[in-house]
Structure 1
């Protein structure tokens, strides 16, 4: 577990994070279910897909791990979006989400989750407590400037001011040591990967390939967006790794497996309903 959340399972001498594996299993499952159905999906098929998405998300929420639960659910919802789900359902979901904000705040969110949201809005209110990570990450990002301080010369991480500097907040370390230009290089690499993923989805010859490729690519983007937004203080702090950069065993394995699935889809030759 980490900070009260039970996220890892130990099998022998090997520890892994089941919620990371769901990033692949869930979109594959939803895409498999929709592959033989008429598209765009009908209301009944959407409800079944939402059930497939909701069950694992609810289990992850019990860890508790709200951030990962929302991201896992998003990976499944992206499949529905790529399958051509009607806009009336999308607008209805947005309205429902907006209407449930207050009840969720009152009855669902735990105290520490509320604190993270309040800290995002005003990190200075608890400089030495909940706001410490955000303040230190902003300091690291700002002190790097355009050129950065140089490899291994960052003070915030190497003097242990910045917690989780090798995992969730590693983009702040990169920004401090390599500056804005280093971050722009990384973002350019991400952009190329995203464009390639979307192109594979567009070129896919089957419904299954198209929906899976689109979902995996969008999930990749969301992880980048959430991590960078979190470190910059624009989003609440959640345990989301930065793809290809953050340390982590299971997350790296699932990311590489996702890329492997995209490569397999790109070599798809025969056209068919699946």
Structure 2
């Protein structure tokens, strides 16, 4: 294999590990924000510094992914590195954060690793559809999904379903990231390759707001949810939302393999929510 291709794969792997493990570092110290202004003074200042390191790790991943694509010329393989990043997060969450992982969790993470990696590979290799769309359809579909997830997050926050909390806020963050990616492409479809023309559309501005909101949603998820719930949910939604929007907005026809991999990812998310979620639902009934 060509040396440049190997270097590209290495850059993609580093990017995936930085992105996912960096989120784990943020989870580890996210509660420092509950200290208010005291987080800027010892001893909380150290925790804030560690959280900022985690944020810098996720941000630096955005450098390695384009480098990986440029060196290897294989975006499908770089997209498939998502699974390696989740494995790195799994090791960090268990070894450094001390999160417990059961059989359902392990199987759920494994299915998400397989599903997101394969879907990234298949999706990047798929031929682009004729990307014409109507604005009302785009905003209606995106807004409807957003409202459903916000309602789910509100219920999880109010009732403190710990397992559903992490997955709900992770899915919301993933929707915002995936929706932002789709909107960035929509700006290109509507205005062409000129960045100046794209700035005359609303899509890039909404995508920027989505990116900021995704950071907030993931941190809220970390407050009560495990990293092993939040991050796989983020990655799953980030992969699935653009695919769903292509179907609903562009009228794309997904490959049967893409549908099968979507099912694998959803089963993985369901397994992550199994166990503790059921216990949280039973507890109020028992107390009543």
Same fold at TM > 0.5? no
Bin of the TM-score, shorter chain as denominator length = 0.3 to 0.5
Question: TM-score scaled by structure 2?
Answer: 0.36
Determine which structure has the larger helix proportion and give its number: 2
